[in-house]
Amino acid sequence: MNDLLWLIPALPFLGSIILILAGTRLSKKSVPLIGVGSVGVSALITLLIGYDFISSDTPPVIKQVLWNWIDVAGFSPSIALHLDSLSLVFIFVITFIGFLIHVYSSEFMVDDDGYARFFAYLNLFVGSMLILVLADNLLLLYFGWEGVGLCSYLLIGFWYQEEKNGYAARKAFIMTRVGDTAMAIGLFMIFKTFGTLNITDIQLQAPVMWEIGATEGTIIAFLLLGGAVGKSAQLPLQTWLPDAMAGPSPVSALIHAATMVTAGVYLITRMHVVFELAPTAQFVVGVIGSVTLLIAGFSALTQYDLKRVLAYSTISQLGYMFLALGVGAWSAAIFHFMIHAFFKALLFLAAGAVIMALHHEHDMFKMGGLRKKLPVIYWTFLIGAASLAALPLITAGFFSKDQILWLAWAGEKGNVWFFLVALSGAFITAVYTFRMVFLTFFGEEKSHVTHIPGSFINIPLIILAILSTLAGFIELPHSFGHFQLFTNFLNPLLPATTLQSEIESTEWMIQVSAAALSIGGTLLAYYLYVKRPSLHAQFKSAVPQLHNFLLHGWRFDSLYDWVFVKPFVYLAAINKNDFVDWPYNALVNVASFIHRMFAFTQSGILRWYLIGVVLGAILILTLGLML
Amino acid sequence: MLIIFYIASAVAVISTLLVIIQHNLVHALLYLVVSFLAVAMAFYVLGAPFIAALEVIIYAGAIVVLMIFVIMMLNLRQESIAQEKKWLNAQIVIGPVILVLVLAGELIYMVSTEASITLTDQVIGAKAVGMTLYGPYVIGVELSGILLMAGIVGAYHLGRQKKKVTHRFLEKQEE
Amino acid sequence: MTTIPAEYGLVLASVLFMLGLISLLIRRNIVFMLISVEIMLNAAGLAFIVAGAKWSQPDGQVMFLFILTMAAAEVSVGLALILQIYHQLKTLNSDEASKMKG
């Protein structure tokens, strides 16, 4: 069974290749059969392998070497797959949620001209992401890393006929490229230090090579963090994600919420040994996470576009994961990743269904009253939103977020500031989440429903809604059942978080305050947007600058425009005619001069050609006479 | 024998010269026939009576007749002669003539520096030519056949006037 | 009976060829150019006959036959082309037929 591991990434790649080569010739029925089927079979194999994995007593580490990539000067990265509990969680989420999103897309995209193209890209993405998380060495990981970056570009710009989509795609590609460059340099340094890029070897050698806080280790950790920040849309490279909503909704669900953006979380978790040896870098991870979660949360409060709210909330939730990583709560971060993947995919898919039902209306203020018209969407969206807002006890999001809050407070590397930021973030999350729910589904109807979603849209939503609720119960806090299936599952790989010694008893206080804040946020949203809808409009007109500032994501785009783009364009403009170009221009000029000379002889007048013949004959005869 | 060759040469050169300075196409063709006949005479003197006959039949006969037919089809009028006069002026002539004289000087110099050989007066008749033609050169004969076939097909294809396809109501009246 | 020196025949061929070449260069009328080409081909054939007579071999005459064949094919295609050009451009001026210049 474990020999089938290579099929998991190979099948989506195969599906992608078939769709790219033959996509236009296939019928509308066979395209989803290939596109969905390949991922579906991958998910099935994942379940089988996962069953084997869990039922064995000692969690095995499956390694499968497929072939050697290159072998030069002691550098021989193999194309090898490595399955342990961490990657199992990831491939489960990728294939399973990926499969649900594929099923959803088979109905959502059916009227699009690029139906086959869409599934080809989606399959390619799933394959690349699986390579990323299954990679045995960092080079193969980087291959998958760039592969998902490429697919992100292709899918954001999927509707390339509109110029702004192409702009958003380029922005995402270039912004993540900044981080990727840092990561590439980090990989070079790792290879220089260890002579290998194999992840297991690095994990074994790093504690021997460096003591805690070694300069080299810190630099490498920071460079890897750069890559993670770019991919996971954290400060300061977060501005691409809201614009990435230009892509179709299933893309937003799959790439920009559930899987790709968590690649950064995966990288840091995978390289946790390096980060533990570099406390400064790990602290910075926590700071970035906490600042990002606040900034994105405030921006989400003011958005009009339903999908942009979700985009900012994704950035904010990724901030939570980074915060957890920063305090060394590795398994808590992964747990939150999994739960977040469930409910965020659910929210995006439901939002996509709403937008489709209202004929591509994105503005929440033009929606309303959809509770009766779209009951399935409403209930599933409500469950997802409750999970995002972490309503206590009944939602999975409560358990995962609570774990992060607790460890931010009580973890050895945690402190009160992290905790307070996370706690206020929970309040903001509840407010913007239910603002979204109330604006979309409550109040009077403002737009007409034109399209009722079918079962291929409803069924994935219902499955995801069930998961968003029940998945939380596999990990219960100390004060409440103390049931730690997930942490124990990851435990041999990821060390448990050590707690500060004296504060064991206060966990229930934190839970109560978090629960109170999320309920309070919900009530505040209810008051502002249902009871007294005029209040938020007054607020908007009272401080329009603040409103616009938050609406544009704290104006990071303008800042980068001033700091990077404008000087770069200026430098490029003054360097346009530098001396490096002279030889090339000279070459061009000479070539075109000769071209004009020869073009002149092509006069089309027959007698000139004959004169040429005669001159040639004279030349040859003269040569013959002289020699 | 030599005298006959001289006379034939003189007639050939003079009539060719007249061909190239004529303005009227038909006159030029008549001089061309004279030139070909003179060359046929030279062939006869050089001991190639079969070729002399072919020269008269094909060059002076068939090819020139073909040209006359085409000239008839072109239906040229008097103004074409005037135009020919206008085109054929001294300025145009002088450059090519100098070039060609250089070339001719070189050629004649090359020919005349060879050791002089007088030709035998042995006649090579049609039989010997035929034996050689269908012996070592039979592949050339085959290729000539293909060439002539290509010539016929090409001439038919190129010479065909394409029928204009227009709707009968849209057809304009020719004036 | 005096026999003919071989150079005389070759000189005659050269002179005829050069006259044809001059005509080809100075004419603009394509029919005249075609006639000039015929003169040149004929002169080339004459050179072959002289060479054949020099060695008393029939090969020169065989070559003349091939040239003759080629001239016949060429003149038929050439005249067809002339008809086409005259039909299309309403002139026999070869300079007008320069639409395909680079």
Closest Cα of chain B to C50: distance in Å?
7
Structural domain spans, chain B? 2-124, 125-159
pLDDT at A156 over 60: yes
Residue of B nearest to A619 (CA): B103
Q: Look up residue B36 and give its two tokens.
A: 């070909």
A32 preceded by a cis bond (ω within 30 of 0): no
How is residue A81 annotated by DSSP? E
Please say whether the beta carbons of A251 and A129 come within 8 A: no
Per the listing, tokens 């690649």 go with: A263
A610, C25: Cβ pair inside 8 Å?
A: yes
Per-residue model confidence as pLDDT tens for chain B (175 residues): 788 999 999 999 999 999 988 888 889 999 999 999 999 999 998 888 999 999 999 988 899 998 888 888 887 777 778 888 888 777 878 888 888 899 888 888 888 887 777 777 788 888 988 999 898 899 999 999 999 999 999 988 887 776 655 555 555 554 4
Is C101 inside any structural domain?
no
A483-484 vs A475-476, strand pairing mode? antiparallel
Choose from A594, A596, A610, A621 for mutation: most chain C CBs within 10 A.
A610
Q: Coil, strand or helix: which one is A363? A: strand
Residue of C nearest to A610 (CA): C25
Please say whether the beta carbons of B170 and C93 come within 8 A: no
Averaged pLDDT, C41-67: 91
Of B103, B109, B110, the CB nearest to A617: B103
Could you please report the per-residue DSSP string of chain B?
-HHHHHHHHHHHHHHHHHHHH-SSHHHHHHHHHHHHHHHHHHHHHTT-HHHHHHIIIIIIIIIHHHHHHHHHHHT--HHHHHHHHHHS-HHHHHHHHHHHHHHHHHHHHHHHHSPP-BPP-----HHHHHHHHTTTTHHHHHHHHHHHHHHHHHHHHHHPPPPP---TTTPPPP-
Q: Kindly report which listed range (A36-40, A194-198, A547-551, C32-36) carries the lowest average pLDDT score.
A: A547-551
Name all chains with 3 or more CB-CB pairs below 8 Å to chain B: A, C
N- to C-terminal Cα distance for chain A? 84
Q: Three-state SS string across B54-74, please?
A: HHHHHHHHHHHHHHHHHHHHH
Which residues of A466-534 form beta strands (DSSP E)?
Answer: 475-476, 483-484
Q: Which domain holds residue C35?
A: 6-92
Name all chains with 3 or more CB-CB pairs below 8 Å to chain A: B, C
Closest Cα of chain A to C55: distance in Å?
24
Choose from C14, C23, C95, C96 for mutation: most chain A CBs within 10 A.
C95
Of B29, B124, B156, the CB nearest to C61: B124
Closest Cα of chain C to B170: distance in Å?
22
pLDDT of residue C1: 47
C25, A602: Cβ pair inside 8 Å?
A: no
pTM score of the predicted model: 0.66
pLDDT of residue A503: 60
Is C56 inside any structural domain?
yes
Per the listing, tokens 């399935």 go with: A376
pLDDT at C2 over 80: no
Q: Which of A35, A150, A9 is nearest to A87 (CA)?
A: A9
Q: Chain A partners of C100 at a C-beta cutoff of 8 Å?
A: 604
Is C64 inside any structural domain?
yes
pLDDT of residue B53: 93
> Does C94 lie at the interface with A, CB-CB under 8 angstroms?
yes
Closest Cα of chain A to B106: distance in Å?
7
Is C66 inside any structural domain?
yes
pLDDT at A2 over 70: no
pLDDT at A577 over 80: no
> Does B147 lie at the interface with C, CB-CB under 8 angstroms?
yes
**Paired residues of A64 in beta bridges:** A81
Q: Look up residue A193 and give its two tokens.
A: 């230090």
CA max distance for chain B:
77
CA distance C83 to B117: 46
pLDDT at A205 over 90: no
Query: What are the CB-based long-range contacts (under 8 Å, 24+) for C52-58?
Result: C52/B48, C52/B124, C53/B46, C53/B47, C53/B48, C53/B119, C53/B120, C53/B124, C53/C6, C53/C9, C54/B117, C54/B119, C54/C6, C56/B120, C56/B122, C56/B124, C57/B124, C57/B132, C58/B124, C58/B128, C58/B129, C58/B131, C58/B132
- Helices A85-108 and A330-357 sit at what angle, rounded to 10 degrees? 0
Q: Chain A partners of C19 at a C-beta cutoff of 8 Å?
A: none
C98, A604: Cβ pair inside 8 Å?
A: yes
Closest Cα of chain C to A594: distance in Å?
14
Of A611, A618, A624, the CB nearest to B102: A618
Q: Chain B partners of C34 at a C-beta cutoff of 8 Å?
A: 67
CA distance B24 to B31: 11
> Does B128 lie at the interface with C, CB-CB under 8 angstroms?
yes
> Does C51 lie at the interface with B, CB-CB under 8 angstroms?
no
pLDDT at A175 over 90: no
**Paired residues of A67 in beta bridges:** A79
pLDDT tens digits along B23-34: 888 899 999 999
Interface of B with A (CB under 8 A): 96, 99-100, 102-103, 106-107, 109-110
Query: Which of C38 and A237 is assigned the larger pLDDT?
Result: C38
How is residue A210 annotated by DSSP? -
Q: Chain B partners of A614 at a C-beta cutoff of 8 Å?
A: 96, 99-100, 103
CA distance A188 to A139: 10
What is the fold, at CATH topology level, of the domain defined by B2-124?
Answer: Four Helix Bundle (Hemerythrin (Met), subunit A) (1.20.120)
CA distance A535 to A618: 99
B106, A614: Cβ pair inside 8 Å?
A: no
Query: Which of A159 and A507 is assigned the larger pLDDT?
Result: A159
Q: Chain C partners of A618 at a C-beta cutoff of 8 Å?
A: none
Q: Kindly report which listed range (A33-37, A73-77, B47-51) carries the lowest average pLDDT score.
A: A73-77
Q: Which of A522, A425, A467, A514 is nearest to A341 (CA)?
A: A467
Closest Cα of chain B to C30: distance in Å?
11
Please say whether the beta carbons of A33 and A11 come within 8 A: no
Band (C100; pLDDT cuts 50, 70, 90): low
N- to C-terminal Cα distance for chain C? 60
Please say whether the beta carbons of A343 and A388 come within 8 A: yes
- Helices A279-300 and A306-326 sit at what angle, rounded to 10 degrees? 160
Closest Cα of chain B to C40: distance in Å?
11
Q: Look up residue A469 and give its two tokens.
A: 């609720």
Averaged pLDDT, A207-227: 85
Q: Which of A310, A452, A309 is nearest to A370 (CA)?
A: A452
A611, B106: Cβ pair inside 8 Å?
A: no
pLDDT of residue C102: 46
A483-484 vs A78-83, strand pairing mode? unpaired
- C-alpha atoms less than 13 angstroms from C-alpha of A85 in its C-beta half-sphere: 21
Q: Which of A156, A152, A151, A159 is nearest to A112 (CA)?
A: A159
A617, B102: Cβ pair inside 8 Å?
A: no
Please say whether the beta carbons of A135 and A115 come within 8 A: no
Structural domain spans, chain A? 584-626
pLDDT of residue B169: 57
CA distance C55 to B48: 13
pLDDT tens digits along A438-479: 888 877 777 777 777 777 888 888 888 888 888 777 777 666
Q: Which of A64, A283, C1 is nearest to B122 (CA)?
A: C1
pLDDT at A308 over 70: yes
Contacts of A147 (CB under 8 A, 6+ apart): A124, A125, A127, A128, A129, A131, A132
Choose from B91, B94, B99, B109 for mutation: most chain A CBs within 10 A.
B99
Domain count along chain C: 1
Q: Which of C83, A455, C90 is nearest to B69 (CA)?
A: C83
CA distance A88 to A50: 7
The rounded Cα A85 to chain-centroid distance in angstroms is 21
**Paired residues of A63 in beta bridges:** A82
Which is it for the CA torsion A361, A362, A365, A370, positive or negative?
positive
A614, B96: Cβ pair inside 8 Å?
A: yes
pLDDT of residue C41: 94
- Element containing residue A553 per DSSP (H, E): none
CA distance A407 to A333: 10
Residue of A nearest to B102 (CA): A618
pLDDT at A142 over 50: yes
Contacts of A451 (CB under 8 A, 6+ apart): A356, A357, A359
Of A603, A604, A614, the CB nearest to C21: A614
Q: By CB neighbour count within 10 A (0-12 exposed, 13-18 middle, 19+ buried), where does A547 fall?
A: middle
CA distance A268 to B141: 85
| φ, ψ at A378 (rounded to 5°) | -60, -50
Choose from C24, C85, C92 for mutation: most chain A CBs within 10 A.
C24
Specify the CATH number for the domain of residue C12.
1.10.287.3510
